[in-house]
A and B are shown apart, each in its own frame.
Chain A
Amino acid sequence: MIVAALAALALRALASPLFAQETGAPASDAALIRVMWVILAAWAVIAVLLFSIDRKVSRMERERRDG
């Protein structure tokens, strides 16, 4: 069942607007893609913030261990 579901996922991915060969996706799909990119952009900001905090904390932990 899991294999079938993953296969369905893969087929849907190929049919999704991101991979669509035809030009001009329907208006609702275009809006969905816009919302998706906004959320991905917000996540990118959060990810960069978390990554920079992680790096600073790791450096301080290394200094404390070695110092």
Chain B
Amino acid sequence: MKHIARLTHIAMPAAVVMAFLFAPAVDVHGETGRLLFFHVPLAWIAALAFAVAGALSIVHLADRSGRWAHLDAKARHSAAIGLAATVLATATGSVWAKMSWGSYWNWDPRETSIIILMLVYIAYFSLDSALAGRGNRGRVASAYLIIAMAAMPFFIFIFPRLFGSLHPRSGSLETDAVTRITLLVSIAAHTLLYLYVFSLKNRVFALEHVTE
């Protein structure tokens, strides 16, 4: 984990410097298109974190021996990071919408589907906190996260394509190699940040709950 921490502290500033100084202006969006180097990685982290939360929940529910008893807590940590990333991705997307189309919010299919996804995971945290102290908390919360994970691809990838959307589709922007490399570096840096924060939250949880 020390390596992930060090790599994160190097990769994140490098991604920021590359996004502003190395990459050229993006296609028709000009300099405002540099938001792409933060908006896309944040959306990727949200999807990754929600998928990890769902996967951990599946293992937790399938476990009969009690060996993976604390996986519901780890799933909760991942879902929290995913929700934070979703909020940030929505915020950066709104800024881009203002700069590109003159309005922060248009009830575009993409914007609407992300709000619905956010509400799904906010409801998860409400459910989880309502069940605090109860014996079935882990299992009920895990079941919810599995259903949420199943719904997540629909809201992120399918729903916005069913209806016409102003949101650029993947591959629709003309990008050169430098732009693509910068985007990949930014995605890698954000992924490292997710892994770092996820491991920190899990370590804090492990310290708070001494293993019997």
Q: B200–A54 contact, CB under 8 A?
A: yes
**Per-residue CB proximity of B1-35 to A under 8 Å, as 1/0?**
00001001100110011111110100000010010
Question: In the complex, what distance in Å separates the CA atom of A22 from the CA atom of B38?
Answer: 30
Residues of chain A in range 12-33 having any CB-CB distance to chain B below 8 Å: 12-13, 16-18, 28, 32-33
Whether A60 touches B207, Cβ cut-off 8 Å, given contacts A28-B31, A50-B200, is yes
**Per-residue CB proximity of A28-67 to B under 8 Å, as 1/0?**
1000110110011001000100110110010011001000
- Chain B contributes a number of interface residues (CB within 8 A of A) equal to 25
Q: B16–A40 contact, CB under 8 A?
A: yes
Report chain A residues within 8 Å CB of B200.
Answer: 50, 53-54, 57
Q: Which range holds the interface residue count of chain A?
A: 20 to 34
* Smallest Cβ-Cβ distance to B5: which chain A residue: A54
B178, B180, B197, most chain A CB atoms within 10 A: B178
Report chain B residues within 8 Å CB of A47.
Answer: 9, 12
* Smallest Cβ-Cβ distance to B207: which chain A residue: A60
**Closest CB in chain B relative to A34 CB, distance in Å:** 10
Question: In the complex, what distance in Å separates the CA atom of A64 from the CA atom of B210?
Answer: 10
Residues of chain B in range 31-73 having any CB-CB distance to chain A below 8 Å: 31, 34
Jot down 18 A-B pairs with beta carbons below 8 A, ordered by A: A1-B177, A9-B18, A12-B24, A12-B178, A18-B17, A18-B21, A32-B34, A35-B20, A36-B21, A39-B16, A39-B20, A50-B5, A50-B8, A51-B5, A54-B5, A57-B207, A61-B207, A64-B207
